[in-house]
């Protein structure tokens, strides 16, 4: 039945893309015509009947039909109704005809198997943690005028070689500034020549995957996982082996040892997305496990700058006696996402090889931008910007926690709120987090279902909520709205 097909398609589209209802109906009707569910010349039900069958307003139905009519899929006949246009291709039809030779085979435009796998899983638009009040980015704490002045200064005094590729791993003063910062604040053991400036965490991961593992090697990843790392490893031809995360971080056990890793990717200071902090015993266990398997550890310290209670957490790299931990970070959380600058700290014996490969693969540049950032750090502006941002985000975090507090009880609790720019609202098993995220999207609140980050496990339900870019004035009202929807879902599941 047409209405059943349309409802199923609309539910799928709403769950995947959170489209408005008229657009969901437009896409569903369009697919029905292209797949032959509605044949050329077939009459559509009236807008009134269609609205009644689908439980929609008539305005929603009329908007979808009007759009399809404008695009030529439908044609109206006065006094008769609306019909599928005769020019709409039938399912299985082949419009390519060659004179005298009948039908020609249609050229197949398709991705590789790896391409299909990469585009089918972990869509960034669905999983990246951005404001739960969508469409508004707040960079008010960033000293934009000062930043522009520094960039202009270095563009004016730039030498010709600053406009070329760079084979040294990055602008030397910036690498020294990064090394000084990490040595003091993150307990990383390093010299400046171990620092490689990259375009961000993704490039750092890809560089490690290319140089440290061969095609088909196994990489242990946390489950639930950071989607960006999972995609980078898949694109490099590595086999993902999910390892369960609990409230102390990644928890490898006997069954995991049956899949010996070449790489182990972790976010120990603030697990993404649950927010778990890896305990000291678990860190020591992980280092011992890597030693036993002769594996490399990739430590992604993506938001360690924002810790709101207790002292800063030391890095895993600082505990490593063997030099098998690669440490990576980014400036996008403190400055602004579009800066696209990060860093990778490489064990000293491999630093030269990584610098050479970075040049060969990526042809790095952006020296004037790196020079501006180096001066920004050296003059103390980075510390000041971080201090202001930390205070601003702490206020946002507090407002969100206050708004969510009424729904916290029993199996409904918050994890990961002591650090970073997101928290995880954990839900009891009876609540479907994907459906709940869809309901919230329909009310203009963008959150991510925790289960969507899981690779193998099926026991987690929750909402991953970003507050870093939501305006302070909107967090309270939006948080209370979010809590009301969650409370209703808990009552239904109760």
Instruction: Give pTM, 2 decimals.
Output: 0.76
Share of residues in the chain with pLDDT > 90 (%): 52
Does 219 or 148 have the greater pLDDT score? Answer: 219
CA 368 to chain centre: 29
What is the pLDDT confidence band of residue 165, given thresholds at 50, 70 and 90? confident
For 162, 386, 404, 478, the CA distances from 472, given in Å and listed in that order, are: 40, 17, 15, 10
436-484 per-position pLDDT tens digit: 999 998 888 889 999 999 999 999 999 999 988 788 888 999 999 999 9
pLDDT value at 161 more than 90: no
Maximum C-alpha span of the chain: 83
Percent of the chain with pLDDT over 70: 91
Q: Kindly report, residue by residue over 90-118, the tens digit of the pLDDT.
A: 555 544 444 444 445 555 577 777 777 77
Q: Which of 165 and 278 is assigned the larger pLDDT?
A: 278
Domain boundaries along the sequence of the chain: 2-93, 119-138+384-493, 157-379
Average pLDDT, the chain: 87
CATH 3.50.50.60 fits 2-93, yes or no: no
| Topology given in CATH for the domain delimited by 119-138+384-493 | 3.90.1150
Q: Which of the listed CATH numbers 3.40.640.10, 3.30.70.2740, 1.20.20.10, 3.40.50.720 matches domain 157-379?
A: 3.40.640.10
Phi, psi of 307, rounded to the nearest 5 degrees: -115, 125
Q: Which long-range contacts (CB under 8 A, 24 or more apart) does 64-67 make?
A: 64/22, 64/23, 64/25, 64/26, 64/29, 65/29, 67/22, 67/26
Confidence of residue 168 (pLDDT cuts 50, 70, 90): confident
- Across the range 373-386, mean pLDDT stands at 92
pLDDT digits (tens, 9 = 90+) for 396-433: 999 999 999 999 999 999 999 998 889 999 999 989 99
pLDDT band at 122 (very low <50, low <70, confident <90, very high): low
How confident is the model over 17-32, as pLDDT tens digits?
667 888 889 988 988 8
pLDDT of residue 261: 97
Alpha-helical (H) ranges within 241-380 are: 254-257, 280-293, 351-362, 367-378
pLDDT mean over 252-270: 95
The predicted pLDDT at position 97 comes to: 46
DSSP state of 312: P
Looking at residue 16, what is its pLDDT?
64
Q: Is the pLDDT of residue 386 over 80?
A: yes
pLDDT of residue 291: 96
**Residue 107 confidence (pLDDT):** 59
């Amino acid at each position: 039945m047409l209405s059943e097909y349309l409802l199923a398609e609309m539910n799928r589209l709403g769950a995947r893309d959170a489209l408005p209802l008229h657009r969901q109906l437009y896409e569903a009707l369009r697919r029905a015509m292209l797949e032959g569910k509605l044949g050329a010349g077939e009459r559509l039900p009236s807008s009134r009947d269609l609205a009644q069958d689908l439980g929609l307003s008539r305005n929603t139905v009329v908007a979808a039909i009007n759009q399809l009519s404008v695009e030529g899929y439908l044609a109206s006949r006065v006094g008769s109704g609306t019909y599928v246009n005769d020019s709409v291709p039938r399912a299985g039809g082949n419009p390519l005809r060659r004179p005298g030779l009948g039908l020609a085979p249609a050229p197949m435009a398709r991705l590789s198997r790896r391409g299909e796998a990469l585009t089918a899983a972990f869509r960034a638009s669905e999983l990246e943690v951005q404001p739960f009040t969508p469409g508004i980015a707040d960079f008010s704490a960033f000293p934009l005028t000062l930043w522009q002045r520094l960039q202009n200064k270095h563009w004016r005094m730039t030498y010709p070689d600053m406009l070329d590729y760079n084979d040294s791993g990055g602008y030397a003063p910036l690498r020294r500034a990064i090394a000084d910062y990490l040595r003091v604040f993150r307990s990383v053991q390093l010299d400046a020549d171990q620092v490689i400036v990259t375009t961000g965490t993704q490039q750092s991961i890809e560089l490690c995957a290319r140089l440290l593992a061969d095609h088909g090697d196994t990489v242990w990843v946390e489950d639930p996982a950071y989607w960006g790392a999972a995609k980078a490893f898949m694109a490099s031809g590595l086999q993902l082996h999910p390892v369960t995360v609990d409230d102390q971080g990644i928890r490898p056990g006997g069954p995991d040892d049956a899949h010996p890793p070449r790489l182990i990717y972790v976010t120990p200071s603030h697990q993404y997305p649950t927010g778990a902090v890896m305990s000291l015993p678990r860190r020591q266990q992980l280092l011992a496990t890597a030693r036993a398997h002769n594996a490399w550890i990739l430590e992604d310290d993506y938001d360690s700058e924002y810790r709101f209670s207790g002292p800063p957490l030391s890095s895993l790299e600082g505990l490593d006696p063997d030099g098998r931990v690669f440490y990576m970070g980014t400036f996008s959380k403190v400055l602004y996402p579009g800066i696209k600058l990060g860093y990778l700290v490489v064990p000293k014996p491999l630093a030269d090889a990584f610098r050479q490969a970075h040049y060969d693969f990526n042809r790095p540049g952006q020296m004037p931008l790196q020079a501006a950032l180096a001066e920004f750090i050296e003059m103390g502006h980075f510390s000041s910007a971080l201090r202001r941002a930390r205070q601003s985000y702490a206020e946002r975090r507090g407002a969100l926690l206050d708004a969510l507090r009424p729904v916290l009880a029993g199996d409904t609790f918050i994890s990961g709120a002591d650090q970073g720019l997101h928290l995880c609202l954990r839900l009891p098993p009876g609540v479907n987090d994907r459906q709940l995220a869809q309901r919230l999207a329909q009310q203009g609140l963008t959150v991510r279902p925790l289960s969507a980050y899981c690779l193998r496990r099926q026991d987690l339900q929750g909402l991953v909520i970003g507050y870093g870019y939501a305006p302070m004035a909107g967090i309270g009202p939006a948080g209370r709205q979010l809590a009301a929807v969650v409370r209703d879902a808990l009552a239904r599941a109760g």
